[in-house]
Structure 1
Amino acid sequence: MTPQARPLTGLEAGFFAYGSRPTPVNLQIGGLTLFTGTPPPLDEGRRFVTSWTDAVPALALVPHGGGRRSRWVVHPALDPDLHGRVWEAEPGGLRAAVDAVMAQELPPGAPPWQCWLIQGYAEGEWAVLVKAHHALLDGASLIQVACRVLGRASAEEPRRRPRRRGRGTDLVRVARGLLRYALRFLPVATGAFAFEGSGARRFEWTAVPLATLRGVADRHGCTVNDVFLAALTTVLREWPHTPWRRGPRPVWTLVPADLHERDGDDEPSAKVVNLRVALPCDEPDPRRRLRALARATAISKRSGHVATGAAGSRALPVWLVSALLRLTFSRWHIDLLASNVRGSRRALAYEGTPMTGMVPLGFIPRGHPLGAFLVSYADQTCVGFAVDPALPGGDALCRLWEQAVDELDRLEVVETSREPEDALD
């Protein structure tokens, strides 16, 4: 299927503009997939990569023009030397290889994504890193790409798509929810991190059993996303670079909400609305922290912010969506980004070799020092941290995360009238 040239959406144009000014910021996001066995030959791997546009037509698109005339146009053919690359890692150097690959710029004038085969870091192990500009793909879309090219199918069963609303209907929704949506930018974030990010990043990650997080969620009447945020709150409490040591102030966290399922759209693209949730780092009781976050996410879902934001991203002028995106990521609005992406529900494989794990590789907004990302695959949940390399103690985040999950798992059950479906997924 041939993709159609089209104008950039406000959100897509906003990501391109945000990444280029006033100072550049690396807006590449990625997914690292892990395998065991013998890595594929280079030529075979490149042929595999250049066939991806058959399964994911959006990967053939390249941005063209500037300003209001910016469009996605169809690139005539993928260059296997540009889009299928190999990184020979040092023994034990998987993390260093990931940091180096994610720091490299995407090739100009080509579809803004790449696939890297990483090998040499361990005997009988290899990895595939797919990265893309956030304007082309978001975290949910990366999962879709993995499912289509490694599973030869979409991550979800085919659904009946709802009828799309017209621009007039979207503008009415925006008008009705404008005041409430604007008030979500208050109160102003008070600077959770004294350190200002440099724009560089390195990655740390660790995995825990998915059943552990689901068990905590089921016992306490909340969702896996609530457990993720509660564990992250504990990590930041124990980490010596967060604000609660300087007073009872919240850490304002940006939590993206995926719009693909809401719109019945399985085509990979950038399609999110960002919600703001306060992490109660000053609360000493882990049970109260979990309950406070479960309540906060439920309120965010019922507030109508997701529907208003979705309508605005479709109907508002590109320049206004871009301005709101810059405001959303600013340091006076949030302190860090925390994203939970639903993983594949089916086993994935490369030419019969099963995939053993998946690692999320997110971006850090301009001026911020830290981001946290969660993804599940098979029976494991992986948390990944993107950390400014100038920030000390970043390697301790994974150890603190494991301890935080264990603490939540050992909490005694308390009675609650809240149902899990009241919260964000």
Structure 2
Amino acid sequence: MKLQKNSILVIIVLCQFLGTSLWFAGNGVMAHLIDSFSLNLAAVGHLTSAVQFGFISGTLVFALLTLADRYSPSKVFFVSACLGAAFNLGVIHSQNTFFTLFFFRFATGFFLAGIYPVGMKIAADYFKEGLGKSLGFLVGALVVGTALPHLLNSLMTDLPWRAVIIVTSVLSVTGGLFIYILVPDGPHRTPGKKPDFSAWFRVFKDRDFRSAAFGYFGHMWELYAFWAFVPLMIAGYFDTQGLAAGNISILSFIIIGLGGVSCAVGGILSGKLGTKRTAFVALFSSCCCCLLYPLFFSQTSGALFIAFLIFWGLVVIADSPLFSTLVAHNAPGEIKGTALTIVNCIGFSITIVSIQTVTWLLPLVNPAYLYMILALGPIAGLYALRFRETFSVSG
């Protein structure tokens, strides 16, 4: 059965959404994990970092072995979705300790390396033109998938918290099956012949590639730390103001999940305004949110504070597919999948540093000023984009 390209895109987007629901499955039930396994508050940062560290390790292995270029990306996606789901299920074991939970989240992150960047590789193999728009929808699916466990945790209050973990694992396997059955190798795929260990150095020789990659690295310093600590931002604000926070899981889902809409909108706008320009505006806007956080944290209006976090959630992710587009367009065709994986590997390494930095500062810094440190990444990313003014990719 041969599907039209638009149908292929819908399937890839859906499967990316289903597979990446594994990412924050632990965060969605973090309060239950802390209670059930007698963990301390620092576990929020450590278990989130475990997924990131696993993802980094996975991308390192995938990139060194050039798996997404040597083998069918759809098969790599399917196997990774199934193995990621299996390790995700390990969290529900009643005899878990912090160390076993860390391992299971690490292993889940390892196989997410075969879902997220490989999904982008599949899209790049189908959509040489209009890649920015396609990746906008694809990363939007990642965002909603990332936020989904918060929604499930809120909706499944009458069920044991382990049901959230089981559901996300089932969704991941389903996504892998759909990709394997319905999405063959794309027409623009250039298969790699053997492991290319020089790819790590070769891709960064191109100045345009370096500029796009460094902009992405600055964006990543902020992104996952913001996502990881959104529930604490909400709880901290309402505790400080002496107000009732309401349903933090629902609010977290809205703040993170609406970013999926901004990814799609950003991808569409990039076709008119240019990919680099659109990414610059989004990164600048999220940088402003980091710096203005103390102002909104001091407001007595809970609605205004939540509206501010929603806006931050929209702009903090809008540039992600645009940077991936710039990276893909400026990478050699035969190692495009590896180049995307390399950039993801370095970017997610940066997220561990930012998450652990915020975790370390939690008891030391006034919560009104804590998250201003996230502005360091966007500032560096803006400099990288501004420094390289000549390149631009439309669509």
Same fold? TM cut 0.5: no
TM-score (norm 1): 0.28
In our comparison, the structure showing a higher alpha carbon Rg is 1
TM-score (norm 2): 0.30
Of Structure 1 and Structure 2, the greater helix share is in 2
Of Structure 1 and Structure 2, the greater strand share is in 1
Q: Tell which has more relative contact order, 1 or 2 (C-alpha 8 A, sep 6+).
A: 2
